[in-house]
Structure 1
Amino acid sequence: MTVSNVLLTGGNGFIAVHILLLLLKHGHNVTTTVRSESKTTHLRKTFPEATESGQLKFAIIQDMTAPGAFDQVFKDNAFDSVLHTSSPLVFGVEDPEKDILQPAIKGTTEILKSTKEHGSKVKRVIITSSFAALANSSVDSTKHVYSEKDWNPITYEYAVQNPEVAYFASKALAEKAAWDFVEKEKLQFDLVTICPTMVYGPALQELQFYQIFNGQNNDLKGNGVWLWVDVRDVAEAHVAALEKPEAGGKRFLLAEGNFNVGQVANYIWEHYPERAKAKGIPRSTQFSGYPPEGVYSADTSASRDILGIKYTKN
């Protein structure tokens, strides 16, 4: 394994902090972007030795959609690889185009443009995409086996008019924009995209979410995504994609197996009944289990065979 200089965008995100942890453990030098100086505080406390030694550095980019937003960080550093994890996740979208579609697409294309123009040493760009970029409501959900060959067929025009699908559309359209850019431009680097299903696991970032666990959310319903993956496996996939030459030019679908939110509630009631009762945690219902007709599955052979992911977390 060769130690490299890595640019990691959105370093204070749920997935990104786990990626950062692995990168530092593997000895890589990391510059991570955040939106403000205050966003560095938790990371400095979490990784004090790396910060003090200079192994971990920070770059402030307030608006990653602005033209040339990443230019300066490339001019100031000689990166070997880029991991772009930053993307908007907005609840209660009012303007799909302004709030989520344009930020996701432009954030992706801007970092690719800056890498092309100013990242002469960069050999690989890895982008965190999503199962949302593959999901297709028109296929038979009871029989379909998703793989890297699948693409969400949603259009930009449809997403603009339908806020409820804006997030799914943003991931699909941003990833497509990345592959289109690579296909059209003469580049010194290759591209890898990582497409995790619903991501769960321990939170290392500053903000944590407890609505279900503290009784604030008593309306236990499924989210319509029946596949999951551990955040630590997602981080491992990103770092493996950086370190393994054979990963270049490929997409990777990540999934541990099937999952529904009712299983979480049942587990808490089974192992911590007094806490569950005290917090008013809802029990599993027909709305939080699997649909009676069945659910889709995933072929994760590429991530296992090429990236070496074992999906052993529990």
Structure 2
Amino acid sequence: MTVVFVSGASGFIAQELVKQLLQKGYTVIGSVRSPSKGDSLKSNLLKLNLPSDRFNYEIVPDISSPGAFDDALKKHPEISVFIHTASPFHFKAKDIEKELLIPAINGTKNALIAIQKYAPQVKRVVVTSSVVAVGKYGKYASPGDKFTEQSWNPIDFETSKKNTVYGYFGSKTFAEQAVWMFVEKENPGFSVSTVNPGMVLGPQAFPIRGRDKLNTSSEEINRLLKLKPDSKIVNVESTFVDVRDVAKAHIAAFEKDEAQGKRLLLIAESYNTQGLLNIVNKNFPELELPKGDPAKGDALKTAPDTWNTDVTKKILGFDYIGLEESVRDSVSQIIDGKIAQSRL
């Protein structure tokens, strides 16, 4: 039976990944920052009648500390696949270099070094990156930009320290660059794939039990549900992929030989805030959210095709969940959890 290690197992993407791995018959060992996070994940799996006996966890309190993953890998020589999802994703950092950039870069390096030193039996490694390591944003963006799996964000380290948004862009870009530099320099005994999703939306892996349980991605939807009928709409554009497809892509990344050494760029659709609001208003009119300017939600349907992900689609071989289904499932889950009932 294949044993898969998932770092950052309590994260948004990782929890869905753990679910899907167990459903496919894999045994999973996850790293979490505390026993309470590991116990909570194990309990949630049990409540969904998933084989929680095939999930165990190891404590890695700080992925950026030297040797962070050494003990976990020494303890489990049965691990043959390593999926590194652990990386900070929030916009609250006060010290961007210390809280975003260094943990992402060093955490990734620590994982690769530990595998090379203590887990020679590991042959497949998958690293969660992001679309922001691929595209150009902010001062780097130009009209008519086009991107493929071979594109890179040109952001530099100093720019990354200017604000938390640039900090996040830098954290994903530099961490992924560290992956490919390691492969080139060390020629390890394992193959590497990266998964580069757009904005990851969709329902959380387990029922929501409180406002503090919402992750950064789910809050993208939840903040709309807090709007008053007369609230002004700030129309932000982004790319999207559902969390269930992201997890599925991580599994395909180690299962499929053709994914070895590849960047998998996951984009299902482009969207904007008005488009999200249109979907919520259509499916949940009882929420009485602001209408905004519905026509603006359709603007991206005729926009130039900025992203070419043909290589990824050919490797994965499955259709993505659409934006409307993803948003509908997210809102249903949030409403059931009674989270977004108070309007700000």
Alignment TM-score, normalising by the size of structure 1: 0.89
Q: 1:151 aligns to what SS in structure 2?
A: coil
Corresponding residue for residue 68 of structure 2: 69
Query: How many angstroms apart in 2 are the aligned matches of 1:216 and 1:65?
Result: 41
Taking a change above 3 Å as real, the CA distance of residues 229 and 287 of structure 1, as seen in their structure-2 partners, is same
- Give distance in 2, aligned partners of 1:34 and 1:180: 27
Could you list the per-position Cα deviations for residues 11-47 of structure 1 after superposition, in whole angstroms to 9, with x for gaps in the alignment? Answer: 1111111111111111111101111111123312221
Distance 1:145 1:73 in 2: 41
Check conservation: 2:29, 2:56, Cα contact below 8 A. Answer: yes
Local SS of the residue matching 1:161: coil
Shift in Å at residue 254 of structure 1? Answer: 0.4
Give 2:150's aligned residue: 149
Question: For residue 20 of structure 1, what is the aligned residue in structure 2?
Answer: 18
Structure 2 counterpart of 1:212: 224
Partner of 2:83: 83
Instruction: Check 1:192–1:216 CA distance in 2 against 1; reply closer, same or farther (3 A cut).
Output: farther
Partner residue in 2 for 1:237: 249
Deviation at 1:92, TM superposition (A): 2.7
TM-superposed CA distance for 1:212, in Å, is 2.0
The aligned residue for residue 258 of structure 1 is 270
Which deviations, in whole Å up to 9, do the C-alpha atoms of 1:270-289 show, x marking residues without a partner? 232222x2xxx333349975
1:97 is displaced (CA, Å) by 0.5
Q: Give the equivalent residue in structure 2 for 1:7.
A: 5
Map residues 216-295 of structure 1 onto 2, 5 A cutoff.
218=231, 220-225=233-238, 227-275=239-287, 277=288, 281-285=289-293, 289=297, 290=299, 294=303
Contact 1:125 1:189 survives alignment (8 Å): yes
Contact 2:241 2:321 in 1 (8 A): no
Deviates more, 1:64-73 or 1:196-205: 196-205
CA distance 1:222–1:113, shift in 2 (3 Å): farther
Deviates more, 1:29-38 or 1:200-209: 200-209
Of all paired residues, the percent bearing the same amino acid is 34
Out of 296, 299, 304, the residue aligned to residue 308 of structure 2 is: 299
What is the Cα deviation at residue 145 of structure 1? Answer: 3.2
Q: CA deviation at 1:295?
A: 5.8
Deviations 1:71-95 (A, max 9, x none): 0000010211110011101323221
8 A Cα contact 2:131 2:265, kept in partner: yes
Letter in 2 for 1:65: S
The amino acid across from 2:310 in the alignment is S
SS at match of 1:92: coil
3-state SS of paired residue (2:316): coil
Distance 1:291 1:247 in 2: 30
In structure 2, C-alpha distance between the alignment counterparts of 1:130 and 1:140, rounded to whole Å: 20
Deviations 1:211-241 (A, max 9, x none): 321338955424442x211111111110011
Deviation at 1:267, TM superposition (A): 2.1
Work out the CA distance in 1 between the residues paired with 2:282 and 2:35. Answer: 43
The equivalent residue for 2:37 is: 39
- Whether the 8 Å contact between 1:236 and 1:309 is mirrored in structure 2 is no
CA contact (8 A) 2:195 2:264 kept: yes
| Larger deviation, residues 84-93 vs 166-175 | 84-93
1:273/1:58 Cα in 2 relative to 1: closer, same or farther (>3 Å)? same
Q: Secondary structure at the match of 2:224?
A: coil
**Are the aligned partners of 1:90 and 1:99 in contact in 2 as well (CA < 8 Å)?**
no
The equivalent residue for 2:194 is: 193
Note closer, same or farther for the CA distance 1:216–1:250 as it changes in structure 2 (3 Å cut). Answer: farther
| Cα distance in structure 2, aligned partners of 1:14 and 1:262 | 24
Kept after mapping to 2: 8 A contact 1:136/1:152: yes
CA gap of 1:85–1:292, structure 2 versus 1, over 3 A, is closer
Farther off after superposition, 8-17 or 38-47: 38-47
> Is 7-16 or 289-298 further displaced after alignment?
289-298
Q: Report which of the two has the higher share of helix.
A: 2
Helix, strand or coil for the counterpart of 2:30? Answer: strand
Aligned-pair distance for 1:312?
Answer: 4.2
How does the TM-score come out when normalised to structure 2? 0.82
Distance 1:6 1:292 in 2: 39
Deviations 1:101-149 (A, max 9, x none): 00110111110110111011000110000001011134544x3332111
Number of aligned residues? 305
| Structure 1 Cα separation of the partners of residues 11 and 295 of structure 2 | 30
Q: Which moved more, 1:266-275 or 1:150-159?
A: 266-275
Structure 2 residues not aligned, in runs of 5+: 326-344
Separation in 2 of the partners of 1:287 and 1:69? 50
Q: Tell me: CA distance 1:166–1:273, structure 2 relative to 1, closer, same or farther (3 Å).
A: same
Is the 8 Å Cα contact of residues 303 and 309 (structure 1) preserved in structure 2?
no
